């Protein structure tokens, strides 16, 4: 049994759940629409360019969780799943997950997106194990702060190492599927890195290293 690790946004999903959650908040009039939409797009572009300040972004993205009652957040996320996430779950991604299940692999999603957004998505995909950025909670409410290390870039390596120790797992025979050059630290760590619909920087790196490059998009050849 090996560990099959998956990035979430733009890998198993045909979109970015963190960005879409921000758009959803704007559509629901729960944030300052013009400001939030502008900043949300700026952070997305910085992520794609590899210049994102993860702590600045998390201060921005976690603030609404602290301002909305937990019981309302749960209902909002159900609506978010139906409207924004279900339509972008890739059938080829589901087939890939099933292939690894049939092989007896342990499936793990690792994502920089916070666990409030991503835990229900992982559950919907039938994946028990999730390593995500953890929003701090006190007395059942989100504080707007981060608990522990954000699972972003080198932080994914840190968080995965902690998870392996806790689970008694190792990286023998492990694979990691990702679309983003931000995940190069972890891609370099596993035995079987796979670039999935990669950005240009990751594509160039994968070609230079001889890594497999695959597509999970419906219109892929």
Rounded to a whole number of angstroms, the distance between the first and last alpha carbons of the chain is 31
What are residue 188's phi and psi, to 5 degrees?
-70, -15
Would residue 220 count as lying in a domain? Answer: no
Q: How far apart are CA 10 and CA 63, in angstroms?
A: 24
Domain limits for position 75: 3-214
Would residue 176 count as lying in a domain? Answer: yes
Shortest CA distance to 202 belongs to which of 177, 174, 179? 179
Q: Is the pLDDT of residue 219 over 60?
A: no
Per-residue model confidence as pLDDT tens digits over 127-186: 999 999 999 999 999 999 999 999 999 999 999 999 999 999 999 999 999 999 999 999
What are residue 66's phi and psi, to 5 degrees?
-75, -20
Would residue 219 count as lying in a domain? Answer: no
Q: What is the pTM of this model?
A: 0.95
State what percent of residues in the chain have pLDDT above 90. Answer: 97
Would residue 29 count as lying in a domain? Answer: yes
Number of domains in the chain: 1
Residues catalogued as catalytic: 7, 9
Would residue 221 count as lying in a domain? Answer: no
Please, which pLDDT band fits residue 218 given cuts at 50, 70 and 90? Answer: low
Q: How far apart are CA 52 and CA 46, in angstroms?
A: 5
The SS3 call for residue 119 is helix
- CA distances 165 to 6, 152, 159, 160, 173, Å, are 19, 19, 10, 9, 17
Q: Is the pLDDT of residue 221 over 50?
A: no
Would residue 50 count as lying in a domain? Answer: yes
Shortest CA distance to 24 belongs to which of 117, 131, 134? 117
Per-residue model confidence as pLDDT tens digits over 87-139: 999 999 999 999 999 999 999 999 999 999 999 999 999 999 999 999 999 99
Would residue 88 count as lying in a domain? Answer: yes
Q: Give the rounded distance of the alpha carbon of 58 from its chain centre.
A: 14
| Residue 157 CB contacts under 8 Å (≥ 6 apart), including other chains | 185, 186, 189
Would residue 71 count as lying in a domain? Answer: yes
Per-residue model confidence as pLDDT tens digits over 49-76: 999 999 999 999 999 999 999 999 999 9
| Confidence (pLDDT) at 220 | 47
CATH classification at residue 45: 3.40.50.1000
């Amino acid at each position: 049994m090996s560990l099959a690790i998956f990035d979430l946004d733009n890998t198993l999903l045909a979109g970015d759940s963190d960005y879409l959650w921000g758009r959803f908040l704007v559509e629901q009039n729960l944030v300052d629409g013009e400001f939030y939409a502008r900043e949300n797009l700026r952070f997305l572009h910085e992520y794609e360019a590899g210049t994102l300040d993860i702590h600045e972004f998390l201060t921005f993205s976690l603030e609404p969780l602290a301002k909305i009652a937990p019981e309302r957040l749960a209902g909002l996320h159900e609506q978010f799943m139906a409207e924004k996430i279900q339509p972008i779950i890739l059938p080829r991604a589901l087939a890939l997950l099933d292939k690894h299940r049939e092989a007896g692999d342990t499936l793990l999603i690792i994502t920089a997106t916070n666990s409030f957004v991503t835990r229900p998505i992982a559950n919907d995909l039938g994946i028990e194990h999730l390593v995500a950025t953890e929003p701090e909670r006190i007395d059942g409410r989100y504080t707007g702060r981060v608990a522990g290390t954000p699972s972003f870039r080198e932080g994914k390596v840190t968080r995965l190492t902690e998870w392996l120790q806790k689970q008694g797992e190792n990286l023998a025979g492990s694979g990691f599927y990702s679309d983003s050059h931000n995940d190069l630290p972890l891609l370099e760590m596993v035995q079987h890195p796979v670039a999935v619909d990669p950005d240009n920087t990751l594509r160039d790196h994968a070609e230079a290293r001889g890594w497999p490059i695959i597509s999970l998009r419906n219109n892929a050849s």
